[in-house]
Structure 1
Amino acid sequence: MAELVASGRLVDIALALVCLEALALLVVVGRRRGLRAGALDILPNLASGACLMLALRAALVGSGWGWVVVFLTLALIAHVADLARRLRRS
């Protein structure tokens, strides 16, 4: 298990599951509300989480602090986009 974590493969598995989750949610939401509306609601949230996982993977495999910062910044941008979209709706 330690090798699975240290190699970043555990994060790869989690990212694959997030991709499957996104596809499944887009299909379900797409049937109910239309694909475009569902994608706009779901994708920023999933993108934020995926970027956080990529930052974790970069740190685990020793990619350098620059990549960690890039992925954390992308996570912040996706998170702010998600929050702005939710606040505009309410």
Structure 2
Amino acid sequence: MSEYRKAKRHIEVSVGDSVRIVRELQELSQNELAEITGIPQSTLSAIENNRVNLGVERAKILARALKCHPAVLVFPGWDINQESAA
């Protein structure tokens, strides 16, 4: 049997990626999410493409609309084990 290397279990996810992933899991388009939240579709696109910072207030609005905790959107790569070692 040849040697192999295990696949990584974690991937890097940006804030924009987390917003897009949760939105898509909710089966919402950017336009639909814009209607629900009042955040312009162009701003949602910029957030998802990491061109605009999410910010606390937008995170709260999006979290309510996407039925998740704001931390899911703001801290997608948080690793408690790594942070506690710092």
TM-score normalized by structure 1?
Answer: 0.32
- Give the helix-richer structure, 1 or 2: 1
Give the structure, 1 or 2, with the largest relative contact order (CA under 8 Å, sep 6 or more): 2
From the CA coordinates, give the structure whose radius of gyration is larger. 2
